[in-house]
Amino acid sequence: MLFSSIGFLFRFLPVFMLIYLIAPARFRNLVLLVGSLIFYGAGEPYFVLLLVFSVTANYGLSRCMFRKPPFSGKARGRKKAVWRRSVLIAALILDFGILFVFKYWDFTADTVNTLAGRGILPFLRLTLPLGISFYTFQMVSYQIDCYHGTITEPAGFVPFAAYVSMFPQLVAGPIVRYQDVESRMRSRRIGVRNLENGLKLFTAGLGLKVLLANQIGTLWNVIMSAGAGSLHAAVAWLGAAAYSFQIYFDFWGYSLMAAGLGKMLGFKIPENFNAPYASHSVSEFWRRWHITLGRWFRDYVYFPMGGSRRGRLRTVFNLFVVWACTGLWHGADWNFLLWGMLFFVILILEKNIYGERIEKTKVLGHLYTLALIPVTWVVFAVTDMKQLTAYLGNMFGIHGTKILVGIPQLIRYLQEYGILLLVCFLFITPFPSRIYRRFRDRWYMAAALLVVFWFSVYEIMQGSNNPFLYFRF
């Protein structure tokens, strides 16, 4: 179930909120858990069982970690460490094993078969369970935190299951750590202010998703439909910009909706985006883009490997691992790996060569970031290698065939999408957030958001009434 659907907005959410608010405080976690499973099950009727299994198994393992080792004798301390470590490894194998089978098996099989020149590994062709990358990472973070003793007291089953499957962040993040919600899991008060502000935040996110991301997305679709390879450089850059806008507003909107819903439920879901496109460097971009994922990789991969404290060479290697993983986390395909590697190279260069200089000159930093990020998104977006090289070639004026999409089409695109592009550009600056925060409690902000809400609903209706209006052939 998508947040931006009639089913969620006018069926699930009101009914769920009513029950949630009426329910006595001690049953709220249970209501949240059941509601989340229904939310997930509505879209993934079979994989909800996988989710239930994963959560139960992880919970069992995490409880084992807090128990005495089943064997006793001398040197209890050491044995306890061994026990805890083996439980952690079991949990990691379980979580990453499931993720690997569903997400990476076919990719691995394809690679192995190509290398071997014959079909060694069979393809499974499984569909990817919704949100598996997100909830797996949350459970892994919980296990590791238990192991390190950051979580001192084991959670109850219902709070743990509710934490993993909590519907606001289940399918598209943010990746919440248990510590972020621990105290609220025990007790939380849902004031009318939370509901008010949460709903406002949700509306803002809904607007970004429906009114900006979905709309500008069609431009990217139109340009890609014309075909990489025959694009004028200006058109290729326009397409890259459109995709950059789309992915940002889509993801940011979704994160805001999650944060808003979290607030309505009495939680505090961490911020995931902080005007990333307004960064002065790519390093800064990654501190402001998908913050919770960056935090996860930093805390659970980069730091445990020694971070930057084990010498220069080791730092480079650590960064390499982190960015290879980040790339592959986004999808099991070569272009995602390439995308991660691109960031690895850029970040190494920034760290060692020109980073400081660029960040000092503000204008240069902005221009540099704004020029580089769309290129990385093209690598991200185009999974087919032939098309990818063709598109990148077009961006830099290299054409295999003659230019079919040239200036006349560019003019038409600009006529059609010009205003939207301007609005998008406005929304990548930090100002809209600032304005929102500053005037959040004024009546005219409420009025503006009300318009955004119903206009979004209208757009959703248009799309669902006629599923193709979204494309408009």
Partner 1 sequence: MKKKDPKADAKGDRKGRSIKDKGQKKSGRLAETLYNCPYLIAVSVTAILVMIRSDQIGVKAIAREFQGAAERIESCVSAETGGPNMENPDPVPDREAAAAETDSMEIDPENTDSINQNEGTCKDEKDETTNDKELNNDNADGEDTAGDPENSTENTGNIGKSEIDSEKDTPKGVTRFELYAPQEIDSYYYSDAGKVALTTEYPYAKENISYFNDAAFLGDSRTLGISDYAGLDEADFYCENGMTIYKILEPEGVTYQKTGDKVDLSQVLKQKRYGKIYIMLGMNELGYGNTAMYLEQYRAVVEQIKEWQPGAVIYIMANLHVSREMNNLQTEFNNININDKNAAAALLANGTDVFYLDANPLFTDAEGFLDSELTFDGVHLYAKHYDVWRDFLMEHAVQTGDAAGEDAAQPEGAGGEDAAPTRDAAGEDTVQTGGAAGEDTVQPGAAGPTGENL
Site residues for partner 1 per CB under 8 A: 6, 10-11, 14, 17-18, 21-22, 189-196, 199-200, 203, 221, 224-227, 229-230, 401, 404-405, 409, 412, 415, 443, 446-447, 449-450, 453-454, 457, 461, 465-469, 471-473
Measured CA to CA, the distance from residue 140 to residue 177 in angstroms comes to 10
Measured CA to CA, the distance from residue 14 to residue 22 in angstroms comes to 12
β partners of residue 231:
405
Q: Helix (H, G, I), strand (E, B), or coil: what is residue 231? A: strand
Nearest residue to 265 via CA among 72, 76, 470, 35: 35
Relative orientation angle of helices 178-186 and 157-165, to the nearest 10 degrees:
130
CB distance 330 to 346 below 8 Å: no
> Which positions ≥6 away from 405 have C-beta within 8 Å?
223, 226, 227, 230, 231, 232, 235
Task: Please work out, in degrees rounded to the nearest 5, the angle formed at the alpha carbon of residue 297 by the alpha carbons of 293 and 301.
Answer: 165
Nearest residue (CB) to partner 1, 7 versus 432: 7
Q: Catalytic residue, from 148, 330, 366, 399: name it.
A: 330
In the residue annotation, 330 being an active-site residue is answered as yes
CB distance 369 to 280 below 8 Å: yes
Tokens in use for 138? 């949350």
Nearest residue to 299 via CA among 116, 148, 76: 148
Q: How far is the CB of 396 from partner 1 (least distance, A)?
A: 19
| Number of CB atoms found within 10 A of residue 213's CB | 22
Prior bond of 432 cis (ω within 30°): no
Write the CA distances from 125 to 48, 101, 103, 110, 342, integer angstroms.
19, 10, 10, 11, 28
Nearest residue (CB) to partner 1, 226 versus 423: 226
Q: How far is the CB of 343 from partner 1 (least distance, A)?
A: 25
Distance of CA 369 to the CA centre of its chain: 21
Q: How far is the CB of 145 from partner 1 (least distance, A)?
A: 28
Nearest residue (CB) to partner 1, 22 versus 75: 22
Nearest residue (CB) to partner 1, 94 versus 421: 421
Nearest residue (CB) to partner 1, 24 versus 149: 24
Measured CA to CA, the distance from residue 439 to residue 40 in angstroms comes to 35
Q: How far is the CB of 384 from partner 1 (least distance, A)?
A: 9
Q: How far is the CB of 430 from partner 1 (least distance, A)?
A: 23
β partners of residue 405:
231
Question: Helices H, strands E: what count in the chain?
Answer: 23, 0
Q: How far is the CB of 272 from partner 1 (least distance, A)?
A: 23
CB distance 7 to 42 below 8 Å: yes
Nearest residue (CB) to partner 1, 334 versus 470: 470
Nearest residue (CB) to partner 1, 5 versus 433: 5
Q: How far is the CB of 449 from partner 1 (least distance, A)?
A: 6
DSSP 8-state symbol, 177: -
Q: How far is the CB of 463 from partner 1 (least distance, A)?
A: 11
Tokens in use for 8? 């969620």
CB distance 134 to 175 below 8 Å: yes
Q: How far is the CB of 19 from partner 1 (least distance, A)?
A: 10
Nearest residue (CB) to partner 1, 344 versus 417: 417
Tokens in use for 446? 């409420």
Nearest residue to 257 via CA among 8, 444, 86, 458: 8
Nearest residue (CB) to partner 1, 375 versus 404: 404
As annotated, the active-site residues are 330
